[in-house]
């Protein structure tokens, strides 16, 4: 018996038409986001101007600019693009790496953080 591929809704436009095999542990949106960061970081580390711009634009296109947080991310991505245009690949890679690492940490909350969140306490 073969499993059917189905379109799974994902909350960001860049991944909204993703077709995945739901029977084989497809990546969640956060995993896709981290992979997009990895791609952008690798392009910056390779001093690949076109690849860096393309990878950063994928991150920008995935934003839904309805919230102040999204606008802040967009400003950071714009800064990274400007850095790449000025051939400051190291600065762009450092910024992207910091953002990627923050998303990774957010995906793995500590037991203390999770308990405080469930209790309704302020986390930050």
Shortest CA distance to 34 belongs to which of 8, 55, 13? 55
37-46, 55-64, 65-74, 97-106 — most confident range: 37-46
CB 8 within 8 A of CB 26: yes
Residue appearing with tokens 């986390």: 123
In this predicted structure, the answer to whether residue 103 has a pLDDT above a threshold of 60 is yes
pTM of the model: 0.67
Q: Examine the pLDDT at 24 and tell me if it is beyond 90.
A: no
Higher pLDDT residue, 103 or 27?
103
Tens-digit pLDDT profile for residues 80-92: 999 999 999 999 9
Q: How far is CA 46 from the centre of its chain?
A: 19
Tokens of 22: 């739901």
For residues 33-38, give the mean pLDDT.
93
């Amino acid at each position: 018996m073969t499993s059917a591929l189905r379109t799974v809704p994902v909350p960001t436009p860049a991944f909204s038409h993703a077709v995945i095999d739901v029977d084989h542990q497809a990546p969640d949106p956060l995993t896709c986001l981290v992979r997009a960061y990895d791609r952008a970081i690798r392009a910056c580390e390779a001093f690949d101007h076109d690849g860096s711009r393309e990878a950063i634009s994928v991150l920008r296109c995935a934003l839904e600019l309805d919230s102040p947080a999204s606008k802040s991310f967009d400003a950071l991505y714009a800064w990274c693009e400007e850095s790449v245009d000025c051939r400051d690949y190291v600065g762009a890679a450092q910024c992207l790496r910091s953002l990627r690492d923050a998303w990774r940490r957010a995906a793995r909350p500590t037991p203390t953080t999770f308990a405080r969140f469930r209790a309704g306490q302020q986390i930050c």
